[in-house]
Amino acid sequence: KQEVTQIPAALSVPEGENLVLNCSFTDSAIYNLQWFRQDPGKGLTSLLLIQSSQREQTSGRLNASLDKSSGRSTLYIAASQPGDSATYLCAVNNAGKSTFGDGTTLTVKP
Amino acid sequence: NAGVTQTPKFQVLKTGQSMTLQCAQDMNHEYMSWYRQDPGMGLRLIHYSVGAGITDQGEVPNGYNVSRSTTEDFPLRLLSAAPSQTSVYFCASSHGQLGYTFGSGTRLTVV
């Protein structure tokens, strides 16, 4: 059974800091890994998708890495802004289904 | 494209009532799945489908039924609602090795 763990559960940083969110998974037989953002009371917004054969993906200030052999992914956020405050979810995807971590709740203070 | 459409957005049920949450996608995706999200937690898989006519159980299937008669639709049925089923329900779809696209969710309260 796939298990996904996200560390830390919560993180508070001052505006402008660079930060790293961590995701680990137990079964390396995956299609891809996806990072989502969820604002309170809202749905899931896809941020980055990394295929199992890829090592990293970048979008603007976000960079996600994947080390399938060790079962780890990181989401790097550069120059954090108050608008980045949200919960970030890591999802490990296979045919028909995703397994999610419990998320990291990020607060960026002005 | 509309993407993944879930209806209704909000619903209040009495204990013991039944209802169907609707999910439709217009992207010709083969994979569809249902999740529930409870406060402070990630998403847990209820049921999923890898194609029309094929469904399987996820992590928390008890109390829910699904069917997939068409590629586009994947309804979730609550047979006899219980307060423990109060949650936010999300439907998602994907194709091949694309990422998953999620609907906006259904907020269900069982009283």
A43/B56 touch (CB, cutoff 8 Å), yes or no: no
For A4, left (φ over 0), alpha (ψ -120 to 50), or beta? beta
Render each residue's pLDDT in chain A as its tens digit; 110 residues. 899 999 999 999 999 999 999 999 999 999 999 999 999 989 999 999 999 999 999 999 999 999 999 999 999 999 999 999 999 999 999 888 899 999 999 999 99
Q: Is A95 on the interface with B (CB under 8 A)?
A: yes
- CB proximity A98 to B under 8 Å: yes
Give chain B positions within 8 Å (CB) of A100.
35, 42-44
Say whether A95 and B31 touch across the interface (CB within 8 A). yes
Three-state secondary structure readout of chain A: CCCEEEECCEEEEECCCCEEEEEEECCCCCCEEEEEEECCCCCEEEEEEEECCCCEEEECCEEEEEECCCCEEEEEECCCCHHHCEEEEEEEEECCEEEECCCEEEEEEC
Q: Report yes or no: A93 at the B interface, CB cutoff 8 Å.
A: yes
How many other CB atoms sit within 10 Å of the CB of residue B88? Answer: 16
Residue of B nearest to A30 (CA): B97
Nearest CA in chain A to B37: A102
Q: Would you call A32 and B99 a contact, using CB atoms and an 8 Å cutoff?
A: yes
Over range B13-38, report the average pLDDT.
96
Contacts of B60 in chain A (CB under 8 A): none
Segment B59-96, tens digit of pLDDT: 999 999 999 999 999 999 999 999 999 999 999 999 88
State the pLDDT at residue B96: 82
Q: Is A54 on the interface with B (CB under 8 A)?
A: no
Residues facing B4 on adjacent strands: B25
Q: What's the pLDDT score for residue B1? A: 61
3 state SS of B6 = strand
pLDDT confidence of residue A94: 84
Distances (CA, A) of A99 to A107, B9, B50, B58: 24, 24, 15, 10
Q: pLDDT tens digit string along B2-12?
A: 799 999 999 99
Do A44 and B42 lie within an 8 Å CB cutoff? no
Q: Label residue B40 by pLDDT band (50, 70, 90).
A: confident
A64 and chain B in contact, CB less than 8 A: no
